[in-house]
Structure 1
Amino acid sequence: MPSADSADSLLTRAKSAARAGDVVGAVTLYRAVRERFPSNKRAGQGLQVLKPKLPELLTAAQAAQGGGRWAEAERLLVAAFTLAPDVSQIGTALAACRLEMGRAPAALRAVVAVLDRDPGNSVALNLKGRALREMGQGAAAEDSLRAALGHPETEARTLNNLGILARARGDRMAAADHFRRALALMPTDAGLHRNLAYAITYTEEEPHLAEMRARLAAIGPDAAEAAPLHFALFKAFDDLGRHQQGFAHLQAGNRLEKARLGYDFQTDALPYALSRALFRSVPEPAAVKTAAHPRPIFVTGLPRSGTTLVERVLSQAEGVQPCGELTVVQLAVGEMLREIMGREARQITAADIANLRARLLEELAEYSDGSPVMIDKMPLDFRWIGYLCAALPEARIVHVARDPMAVAWSIYRLSFVGQGNAFAYDIGDIARFMVLHRDLMAHWRTLYPDRIFDLDYARLVEAPEPVTRDLAEAVGLDWSGDWLTPERAEAQALTASAEQVRRPIYQGSNAAWRAYETELAPLQAALNQAGLI
C-alpha cells in the first residue's frame, strides 16, 4: 500500500499545480489521493477549493470537442466530473467523448457512475447501450436501450441505436422499423435517412426515395449536411439499377465528405514513414513472463477486403470470441509514437515495447468474455503489425488481400462511421493510400516473415476448405466443418458487411464494380498508374 509520504507528496504537487493555474493537473493529483485514501480530508478540501473552476473546465472541454481534440476534451471532462460527480450532464458528456475516441469500456464506467445516481437518465441509458454494443454485448445493450424508450427528448436517438443493433444482428426488418419510427420524429436528420437506406432494398414503390429527394431539395445538394443523403440516394438508385443517377449522388457525397473532414494525405502518411524509420530492423523484444490470456488474433488489411468474413470463419472455432473492430491498438501505438516524437532520441526501446505490451493486454482484456482466444479485426491495424509482433509474440497476424478494383470501389461507395477512413472519399486518395498499404506490408514481411499469414480473399471464396485449413494452422486453432458455414455465426456485425456475411460463402463480389465500369474509368486509371493493377 502507498505510504502516507506518497500522499503528502501528491498533495504538495496538487497545491503547486493549483497555484500555477493547472486545474486539470491539480484535480488529477487530488483524485489520485482520494482513490488511495478515500477519507483524506485535505484532498477533499483541495477539490472544493477548485470547484469554482468548473465553468472554465466545461467551456474549454466544449471548445476541444468542437475542434475534434477528443483526448484534450476527455482530460477536461474527467476533471470536471471529479469536481461535480452529481452533475449527470458532465458524466454523459465524458461518456460520449470516450465513445468518439473508441474507448467503450471507459465510456461504460463513466455512464454507470451517472446511472448509479440517476437510474432513469435516458441519455445515460442510450450511451450505456452504445458502449455495450461496441463491446459485443448485444443483449445487454438492447436492454439498456429499451429502458430508455418513452423519453421524448431522446426517443429518436434510442430508436436509431436500436436500429443499428438490429442490423448488426442481421434483422433488417426490425432495423428498418426502428429507423422509420425515428425518422417520423426527426424527418430532417440525414444520418437517419442513410441508416434506413442501408436497411432496406428499394423498389419503385418505396416512398422513402421521394422523401429523400424532397429533403435534399430543401437543404440544397451542396450543403455540408447533404452528404449522408447523397450516399443514401446512391444506395437507392443502385438497388433500382439506375446507375448513372446513383453515381452522380455518390460523387457528390464523397466530395462533400472529403471537404467536411479536411483530409490531407501527407498528414496521413506521416505515421507510415515514422514506423518504417523506427523499424529499420527488428527492435529488442519485451521480456515475456506469462503468455497473454486471452490470446489475440489480429485480422488486418485494407477496409472492405474481407476481414469481417475472416473473423466470422475464425469465430466458428471453439473458445474464440469475435470482438469486431477495436481501437485498442491504434490508441496505444498512437500515444507511444507521440511520446517517442517528443524525445531527443527518436528511437523505439525495449521499455517502450514492454509498456506497449502491458497496455495492450490490459485494454484488450476489458473486451474479453473469458474465452481463451479473442479476435480484433480492425483492418487498419496493418499499420501497426511491427509493433504487435514485437509486443505480443504469442499473437497471430492475419492479413487479408483482395482484388484492388473491388476493394477501391467498395471503399468509395460507402460512407464510413468516424474519421479513421478519411482517405475513402477521393479516388486519388484511395489509390495513394493503397500504395502506402502495399509498401508498408512489404516492409513488415521483410522484418517478420514468419509472423504474418497472408490470406487471399478470392482463393477463400473459390476453395474455402483448403484455405480455411491453412488459416486454422496459421493461427493455432482446430479446424472443423463449421469453418465452412460462417453465415451461421451468431456474433453481431457492426460493419458495412453485416448483410453479406450472413450469406453462405459466395463468389462474384469482386466483379460488382463492373456495373459502373464506365464511371470508374478514372479509378481504374489511378490504380493502374500506381502499379496496383
Structure 2
Amino acid sequence: MNAATLWQRAETYAKQGQWAAALTAYDGVLEHDPNHVMAMLRASRMALSLGRYRDSREYAVRALAARPQGDEAVLNLARALRLFNEPALLMECLAHSRWQERRSAAWLTEVAMLVSTSGENELAMQLLDLAVQRDPRHAPARYFRGVVHMFFGQMEQAEDELEQCIAILPTYAQAHWVLSRLRKQTPEHNHVARMKALISRVPAGSESRVYLAYAVHNEAHDIGAYDESWQALEHACRTKRQLSPHDRTDARRMYEGLAKLCDAGFVAAGHAHADEPAPYRPVFVVGMHRSGSTLLEQLLGGHPDVTDGGETYSFASQMRYFADYRSRGVLDAELVRRADKVDYAALGRRFLEHTAARAKGRAVLTEKLPSNFLHLGFIARALPHARILHMVRDPVDTCFSNLRTMFSDVNTFSYDQRELAEWYGQYRGLMAHWHAVMPGRILDVRYDELVADPEGAMRRVLAFCELPWDTAATTLDRPGAVATASSPQMRGGIIKDRKAAWAPYVDKLGPLLEALAPWREPQASP
C-alpha cells in the first residue's frame, strides 16, 4: 500500500475516533516517507489520545527535526510543543520558520499567543507588529497586542489596541473583558451601557457570553452598581460551570491519594540525592489562585540573585512525562495513582535541565504556579534543595476573588460557591498535611503582613531562601512583563488599603460564607 493510500486511511480512522488504527496507518506513512511532518504531527495526536504521553511528545520532537516550513505544519508543531511545555523547542521551531516572511495575520497572531504563553512577550509583540502590518483590521491581532501591552504595564497603549479591536469587531468579548480590568471604572467613564447593548448579539451559553458577563460585572462593581454587578456575575458563573463542569469525585480521590501516598517516608526518600549538584535553587510560590502569589514573586524577583520565572507548568509537565500520562488540569486522581512508579531523582534532574536557561545564571529561579501546592510532596521528593513559599490570604477574600475571575480552562471549581468552598477546605487540609510530613520545608507568607510591612515580610522570605538582604526585594519598581490575572495590579506600587470586594454582596454569599466559617479568623469581616 502506498503512502497516499495509507494517509487517506489514517485520516478516515482518525475522524472515526479509531486512534490505534489511525496511529498504525500514520506509522505506515512514515515508513514510506520518514520526513512526512504532518504524519508525525497526526501520529502525535493519536498517541496522546491513546494515553501515550511520551510517545506523543517524541513524534513532535521528530517533526521539529524535519524543519517544517509550511504554514499548517509549523503552526501545528508549535501547538504541540506548547502542549508539552517545551519553550526552548518552541523557540527553535520559530527560529527555523522564517516567520518574518509569513503573510497571514491570523498565523502570526496565533504563533504570538503561543510564544507569549512561554514567557517570550517581546518576541510576541514583534510577531503582532508584523500581523497588523499584514492586516491592520485583524481584530485578534489588535486584541492580543492590547493584552501584551497590559503585561508590560503599558495601559494606555493596551486600551488603544483593545478599542481598535472592538471598533473592528464589536462582539469580540475578550477585548471587553480585558478592557474592564485595565483600570478602575467611574460613573462618568465606563463601558457598561455599551456592553449591555451587545449581549443579545453574543450567542447564549457561549464562552463569549461568559467573557462579556464578567466584563459587565467588573465595571458595574467599580461604579457601585452592585445589583447589576451581581446579576452579571451569577450569569457568568452559571454559564461557565455548564461549559467547564467540576469533577468533585475525581478531586476527592486526588486529595485522598496524595495524603495516602506522600507520607513523611515518601518525602524523606529525596534526601538520597540531595547532594547532587544543581545549576540553581528553585523557589516554588504556591497557594490558592488570587492569594497574592504574583505580588510575592514580583517582590522576590527584584532581588539581584533571583530570576522570576512566572506561572509555568514546568513541574507538572515533568510529572506527566514520567507518569506517561497527560492529566486533566495540573493534577488528577489517575496521575496520583501512577505517581508511586515515578523515578523522582531523574525527574528532578530533568526539571533542572529543562529550566536552567530561564534562571539566566542567577542563583534562584522562582516558579509561581499557585496550584503547585498539589505537587508539594513530589517537589520535595524530586528537588530536596527547593524552597517552598506558601501564600496565605483571608479565605473569603481569596474565594470571592476566585469566584469573580474568569479562568480559561483551569480552576473548574471556582464557578459555584459550594464547590469553591469545598475545594478551599481540601486545599487547607492538604497544606496541613504537607506541613506535618515535611516540617520546616514550607514558609507561610501572609498576604496582609506582606502588604502592611513589605520589609519585615521579605526579610523572613529572603532568610528562608538563604538569600542576603536587599532592599530591591521590597518594591515593584522594575520593568518586565507580568503575564498573570494580577497583571494590572502590579503597577503603581503595593496597594495597602484594599477593601473587601465581597462586602457589597454579603447577602448573596451565604453558601460560601457558611462553608468557609471553619477557616475564617474573627477579624475577617467586611
Measured against the shorter chain, the TM-score band is 0.7 to 0.9
The residue aligned with 2:5 is none
The residue aligned with 1:274 is 257
Q: Distance in 2 between matches of 1:328 and 1:336?
A: 13
Of 396, 414, 420, the match for 1:405: 396
Q: Distance in 1 between matches of 2:47 and 2:146?
A: 31
Task: Name the CA shift for 1:155/1:366 in 2 (closer, same or farther; >3 Å).
Answer: farther
Q: Distance in 2 between matches of 1:199 and 1:406?
A: 20
Deviations 1:366-419 (A, max 9, x none): 533332321111101111111111111221110010100100111101101x32
TM-score between both structures, scaled by the size of structure 2 = 0.83
Task: Name the CA shift for 1:397/1:145 in 2 (closer, same or farther; >3 Å).
Answer: same
Q: Distance in 1 between matches of 2:294 and 2:134?
A: 35
Per-residue deviation at 1:146? 1.2
TM-score between both structures, scaled by the size of structure 1 = 0.82
The residue aligned with 1:394 is 385
Amino acid at match of 1:217: S
Structure 1: any 5+ residue segments left out of the alignment? Answer: 1-17, 31-45
Per-residue deviation at 1:455? 0.8
Matched, 1:158 2:141: yes
Matched, 1:307 2:293: yes
Of 205, 216, 219, the match for 2:199: 216
Would you say how many aligned residue pairs link Structure 1 and Structure 2? 492
Equivalent position SS for 1:250: helix
Per-residue deviation at 1:81? 7.2
Q: Distance in 1 between matches of 2:507 and 2:110?
A: 44
Amino acid at match of 1:502: R
Equivalent position SS for 1:461: helix
Task: Name the CA shift for 1:368/1:126 in 2 (closer, same or farther; >3 Å).
Answer: farther
Per-residue deviation at 1:89? 0.8
Task: Name the CA shift for 1:215/1:342 in 2 (closer, same or farther; >3 Å).
Answer: closer
Of 472, 475, 488, the match for 1:482: 472
Q: Is the 8 A contact 1:23 1:50 kept in 2?
A: no
Amino acid at match of 1:425: Y
Percent identity of equivalent pairs: 26
Give runs of aligned pairs for residues 457-468 of structure 1, distance below 5 A: 457-468=447-458
Equivalent position SS for 2:507: coil
Of 413, 421, 429, the match for 1:439: 429
Amino acid at match of 1:493: V
Task: Name the CA shift for 1:247/1:271 in 2 (closer, same or farther; >3 Å).
Answer: same
The residue aligned with 2:309 is 323
Q: Distance in 1 between matches of 2:300 and 2:64?
A: 41
Task: Name the CA shift for 1:457/1:224 in 2 (closer, same or farther; >3 Å).
Answer: closer
Q: Is the 8 A contact 1:133 1:141 kept in 2?
A: yes
Amino acid at match of 1:387: F
Deviations 1:17-43 (A, max 9, x none): x9996256678xx7xxxxxxxxxxxxx
Q: Distance in 2 between matches of 1:342 and 1:509?
A: 40
Q: Distance in 2 between matches of 1:465 and 1:207?
A: 37
Amino acid at match of 1:468: M
Q: Is the 8 A contact 1:163 1:175 kept in 2?
A: yes
**Segment of structure 1 superposing worse, 458-467 or 284-293:** 284-293
Q: Distance in 1 between matches of 2:211 and 2:178?
A: 9
The residue aligned with 1:255 is 238
The residue aligned with 1:48 is 33
Per-residue deviation at 1:463? 2.5
**Segment of structure 1 superposing worse, 382-391 or 88-97:** 88-97
Structure 2: any 5+ residue segments left out of the alignment? Answer: 1-19, 327-332, 522-526
Q: Is the 8 A contact 2:255 2:426 kept in 1?
A: yes
Q: Distance in 2 between matches of 1:20 and 1:524?
A: 51
Cα-Cα RMSD? 3.6
Amino acid at match of 2:150: R
Q: Is the 8 A contact 2:166 2:172 kept in 1?
A: yes
Per-residue deviation at 1:347? 6.8
Q: Is the 8 A contact 2:286 2:389 kept in 1?
A: yes
Task: Name the CA shift for 1:63/1:218 in 2 (closer, same or farther; >3 Å).
Answer: farther
Give runs of aligned pairs for residues 57-76 of structure 1, distance below 5 A: 58=42, 61=45
